[in-house]
Structure 1
Amino acid sequence: MQLLGISSYKALSRQAGVSERQVKRLRLGQVSQMRVETLIKLSQALKVSVSELLTAFGDRKPPALGEQINREPELASLQQEYQRLRSLLEQQRETLMQEFQMSSLQVLESFLLYWPTAAARALENPQMEAVKLLPLVRPVQQMLSQWGVEAIASVGAELPYDPQFHQLIKGTAQPGEIVKVSNLGYRQGEKLLHRVKVSAISKA
């Protein structure tokens, strides 16, 4: 807990998403009375494996010989259930990734089909109007919109320099001085994905 910056058992329960009662059970070594899902959450919060939890937090009281023999099948059952759930989670993760890729490819279908051809034609014919290529980029813009990704500013815009959101790529500028946008930045909700690339405007 100290290594992970977890200051209290209450903080551990919040981070793991389990009740303080379950944390207390773990401290008392009552892992055999805990659900596998709870052990998984605690192991993830503590950055250790479930097997390590089972080994480190077994019953602290020396059990009678008969009880010790009966405890082994319980721990083995917990380990088997953990492996089953882990395998299930991996399968679900793979399925979700496949579904994500398929939905993304469906959104990008027209872009994937027509953009390479349009780009090749543009290289063959420098006189081709670039504006005709813009509709082909629309699927990418739609996908970004579905993911809640928003562009910050617009190319060519002039705005006050803010180092938190702007990356100066040419010249020098102080915060608040007017700079010009060279490349867009992006954010997703409150998360900043890419800062806006800006250039200083010549004071002359």
Structure 2
Amino acid sequence: MQQFIITLLRHGETVTPKSLNGATDVALSARGKQQMLEAVSKLRDIDCVVTSPLQRCCMIAKTIASQWQVPLSIENQIAEMNFGDWDGQSFDELYRQFPSQMDKFWHTPWHVTVPNGEQLNDFYQRVDGAWQHQLTRHKNTLMVCHGGVIRYLIAKVLNLDSHNNRHITALKIDFAAVVKIQITVDNNKYYPMLLWPS
């Protein structure tokens, strides 16, 4: 029997915290940088850092990997969902322009197609691909990513129906939140467990 830990770290506050930032490559605020550095200061024994390519994740991830002298891997698959024409716009503006579509998006996202945006199922499939790839590569991995990625992975570990959007609307993932998942491998079977509190 073997055990592995994947620690998920959401990026810190951005310079546009009240916007729908998916593929939009916004920077961290000064406060966001501090939030992330404080969060990682409590972590121990990390032997690999995996990060989204978006600067709100990878800038601090590069610093962390360098300080800890561990390998760094930049993975496009754990970038946030691409919200197409809505991406980067403020929530206030989106609700002003598209009130009914926004309500439907948060309550029944499977039935909403954002113009030029990524389908929810495609997002889940790419995140799942990254997850499967990282499961047992290192004993203790830090994955620096996004709220949507973390919500999906929590739902996966808890075996929630991904077509039920409750994990999207009922899980609040704060800036620089830390979530730990332990993976036990026994007879080639994988048993993930959410470690709470992380």
TM-score (norm 1): 0.23
**Bigger RCO of structures 1 and 2 (CA < 8 A, at least 6 apart):** 2
Larger radius of gyration: 1
More helix by share: 1
TM-score (norm 2): 0.24
